[in-house]
Each structure stands twice: as C-alpha cells, then as structure tokens.
Chain A
Amino acid sequence: MEPLIHFRGAVSLLGRFPALAGVDLDVAGGEIVLLQGPNGAGKTTLLRCCAGLVPVVDGTATVLGHDLRRSRKAVRSRVGLLGHASGLYDELTVEDNVRFWSRAAKARPVDVDAAMAQLGLDGRLRDVPVARLSAGQRRRTALAVLVARRPELWLLDEPHAGLDVDGRDLVDRLVGEAARAGATVLIASHDHDRAVAIADRCVTIAGGIVVAAPVPEVVRAP
C-alpha cells in the first residue's frame, strides 16, 4: 500500500538554517503517529511541511498523493493543522469563528453544530468573543474548527497544551474517532505518556532528522 506521507531525505530551511536536514518518514493511511524529540528538533517544521505551509527544498516529499516540491498548495485544503497559534479572530464570537472557517472549508452545517456540541461550545460560550476566552477554551474552539472540517490528515502540534484533564481526554477521544473514521493523525507532543497511549507508534526526531521510526506493517514491502 502506498504510504499517505512519504518523505525521503526531505530538507526544509528556516532562513538559512536547515530545520529538516534529510527526513525519512512513511506514514500509512489511518495511522496515529507520535512525533517526539527535544525542542528545536524539527517537529513543528515537519508538521508545517506536511500542511504545505513550509517548502521542502530537497529530497522527496509526498502527502496525500501530492508532491510537496511541485504542488504543496494542493494539499492544504485536505489537511487540518492545530498549531501553537489558534487561527481565530479575537473580536468574533466562538460561533462566528467556527462557522466562518467551516464554511470556508465547505463543511456541512450539521457537522459544524455537532463539532461545537462535541467540544462543549454550544452553551453559554457560543456567543462569547474569542478574546475573552481562556487558553483552554481557545484550544477547544480551534479543535471544533478542525473536527467540523473533517480533514483527511490531522496535524496536531502540542494538542494537549493549555487544556484541563477533561479537555485532554476529549482530545484523545477525538483523535481516536478521527482515526476510526479513516483519517491519519500526526501528533507532536511533549506530553509523552498521554500521547503514547493513543499513538500506534512513535517517531523520534532530533537535529532535523528522524533518528528512530519503526516501520509499520502496512507500509512494509510484501
């Protein structure tokens, strides 16, 4: 089976600094993969490359069948990225934000309502401007956008950050549900124990290269 993410010797630069210095990685469809490694290892850059936001300047990089070196923009509408920033408009309410980004992604209204209910945003929080939310509530709102969009590839950068225990459990549940629905999930997290519990396997990155990545059965050659 063709891997959904296929990187061979992938190089990406932040200015002149090689944030990815030759990454080799295969991820099969439906897998939940944990990216682990120290700060500055290249986890966030790898996620942003997969989202088509950061260019890959050397090597091979294919995501969802798109060659990132040729057409990285083509992959964008098919992935969902939960980054360090929320990607929300402060002055708009929770509902305005979720509906705007969901409609931009042509999500079904029924999915938008369901996502808001799932994230606990259908009550009094619905009409609160995002600027007045706590960090955890912002995270929940950003997650609601992701859930409503139903992307094929979830890219989660520290998804548990800023959330209380209930919120962290909810993230784990959402990731599991997404994978069961056929989505692929890449998680970068320092919350090692929690992330390991939901991941199918772990990939370790250091100095911009993958230093340990067990190859999954589905990707191995017959």
Chain B
Amino acid sequence: MLHDALLVAGKDLRLEARSRVTTNLVAPFAVMVLLLFAFALDDADVLVSATPGLFWITVLFAALLAIQRAFSIESADGTGDALRLSGLDPAGVFLGKAGAVVVQLLALEVLLGIGVALLYGASLGGPVLLVATALAATVGVAAAGSLYGVLAAGLRIGATLLPLLLLPVVAPVLIAATQAFIAAAQGVPGEGWRWFGLLAVFALIYITFGIFAFESLLEES
C-alpha cells in the first residue's frame, strides 16, 4: 500500500511540476482572495482579528481547486480505466492522491502565511501550535477532499457538486483550525491544543474511512 501511495503521490507531484497549475493558477487565486478580503474589510484592526478565519477560508477555496484538479486528471482519456486495471492498491491510490494534495496545500499555506503577515500585518505567535494545526487541518481537508473528489470526478456536474459536498463536511476543520490559530495568536496555546486534538481526530477518521471506502468510490466514478 505504501509503495503504491508513494508512486501515485510522486506521479501527481511530477504532473504538477510539469503543468504548474498550482503555481500559476491556484496560488495567484489564493493571493487574490486575500487581497479582496483586505479591500472589503479595509480596517487594519478588523483584518488582524479576522486573519485566522480569512486564512483558512482561503485555504479551503484553494483546496477545492487542487482537489478538483487532482481527480479531473484521473477521468481524462481513459486514465480512470487504466487506474482500475493497473493493479495498484486502491487504498494506496487514496493515500497517494491525498498526500500530493497535502504537499501542494502546505506549500500554499506558507505563501499565504507570508501574505497575511505582509498584507494584514498579522503576527505569527505560537509557531509549534501553528505548524501542528496546519498539518492536521491540511491532512484532514486532503483526506476528506480525496473521498468526495473521486465521487464527483465521474459525474457530469462534478465540478459544481464538489464544493457543495465538501464545504459542509470540512466546516469543523475551518472552525477548529481558526480557533487554534486565534489561541496561538493570543498566547493561550493550551486552548489551541484542544482544537488541534479535534483536527487530528477528524484527519484520522477520514484517512481510515478513505483507506476502506476508496475502492468502492473509485469503482463508481
């Protein structure tokens, strides 16, 4: 399973390196969303206090694009059939797809972190909690996104359906990650680690569910 996961993740990241969709489209989109929030709120104090929420909303929007992209390539020109015939362990495919999305989103979050520091003047307190929260939240979003991504990929209205399916499901991630970031900024990491626990449980549930359910979903896509 791990061999297959690494193979699929390597392929997806190589594909991204060659197509540069995340670099040329998703990253500029995310930065533009940050800018639009800045223009809309237009108040330094409001922006600083809203930074955690705005950061994670932007990450979720970008995640939708990354997940959609990750699964649209598996339904073009017979690649879906090729994947089913390949002999790859479906659980490995799930972990590989989710892993590649995690790597792309983490890179994007570093960029957005610099963005909110520069644009909103936000300070980055509690670095350990911030990094742990970002990791757990990103893994959760990628795991849940990969499950709904494969489900939507085979449908004619998949691109429209994915946000409708995914955003309600990842709402707990948005809430918990935002609260953990607020706790880190306010210097009360104890409160933040409780929210981190929720994120870790969310990620664990979706990884476990994905390992067992992905084969059926891939079959239906």
Contacts and interface: CB of A to CB of B under 8 A. Distances in A.
B81 A53 contact: yes
B81 A79 contact: no
A89 B73 contact: yes
Contacts of A53: 81, 84-85
Interface in B1-32: 4, 7, 11, 14-15, 18-19
A104 interface: yes
A129 B19 CA distance: 10
Given A103-B7, A104-B4, A88 B85 contact: no
Given A76-B85, A77-B86, A91-B19, A100 B78 contact: no
Interface of A: 51-53, 76-77, 79-81, 83-93, 96, 100-101, 103-106, 129
Contacts of A129: 18
B88 interface: yes
B76 interface: yes
Contacts of B84: 53, 76
B82 A101 contact: yes
B155 to A, nearest CB: 15
Nearest to A100: B11
Contacts of B14: 92, 96
A76 B87 contact: yes
A88 B85 CA distance: 13
Given A87-B77, A100-B11, A104-B7, A92 B18 contact: yes
B79 interface: yes
A87 to B, nearest CB: 3
Contacts of A89: 11, 15, 73, 79
Contact of A104 (B15, B18, B19, B87): B87
A83 B82 CA distance: 10
Interface of A is mostly: loop
Contact of A101 (B4, B18, B73, B86): B86
Given A96-B14, A100-B7, A105 B86 contact: yes
Contacts of B81: 53, 81, 83, 85, 87
Contacts of A86: 77-78
A161 B52 CA distance: 56
Contacts of B78: 83-87
By CB atoms of chain A within 10 A, which of B14, B73, B84, B86 has the most?
B86
Given A86-B78, A96-B14, A106-B87, 20 more contacts: A76-B85, A76-B87, A77-B86, A77-B87, A79-B85, A80-B85, A81-B85, A83-B81, A85-B79, A88-B79, A89-B79, A90-B76, A91-B73, A92-B14, A92-B18, A103-B7, A104-B7, A104-B86, A105-B86, A129-B18
Given A87-B78, A87-B79, A129-B18, A92 B11 contact: yes
The 5 closest A-B pairs by CB, nearest first: A85-B78, A87-B82, A77-B87, A104-B86, A87-B78
A51 B78 CA distance: 14
16 contacts: A53-B84, A77-B86, A77-B87, A79-B85, A85-B77, A86-B78, A87-B81, A87-B82, A88-B77, A89-B79, A90-B76, A90-B77, A96-B14, A100-B11, A103-B7, A104-B4
